[in-house]
Amino acid sequence: MHEGTRPMSKAVAMETQAERPAWGPTVEQELADIERALDILLRAAIEADGNRPPRAWKAPEVFNLTMLGEAAKNPAYDIVANPLGEAARRAIKPLGQRLHMLGGTALMRDVSYRVADMDPSHDGRRLSIMDARWNGVGCDTGDVWWS
């Protein structure tokens, strides 16, 4: 465990373990798998951002609001601009949803700090990516992740 990180609470482990089939992975195993997957995805996203060729940018003479909505008008815009980085980012949300099912936003927060600590040189960026991708997770429960 990384220095300064918090382990999963025993209450969460006991509560969710009671709901698991005897033949499945333990909560601790599933959390370790999720943390490993998040680490791999975040490394890939950050590496892809660094390898992406810079876009040609010319400031418009007149501000055009339609520029801000390009990604909204074209769902493939982010994927075309950064295929590997965007694919990695999109895979982060379902992992946050599973964490929420296991222990709510408290567990999501704890895991996000542990995963961020896995790469101290990019810890803030990792937290930012998880935070943005997990926005709205739990909206049907009242325990919502807001970014």
pLDDT tens digits, 32-51: 999 999 999 999 999 998 86
CA atoms of 120 and 122, how far apart (whole Å): 5
Tens digits of residue pLDDT in 80-110:
888 999 999 999 999 999 999 999 999 999 9
pTM value surpassing 0.85 = no
- Distance (Å, whole) CA 57 – CA 47: 22
Number of Cα atoms under 13 Å in the Cβ half of residue 123: 12
DSSP-derived 3-state class of residue 32: helix
Q: In terms of residues, how long is the chain?
A: 147
**pLDDT value for 67:** 54
Q: Could you tell me the end-to-end alpha-carbon distance of the chain, in angstroms, rounded to an integer?
A: 26
pLDDT at 23: 73
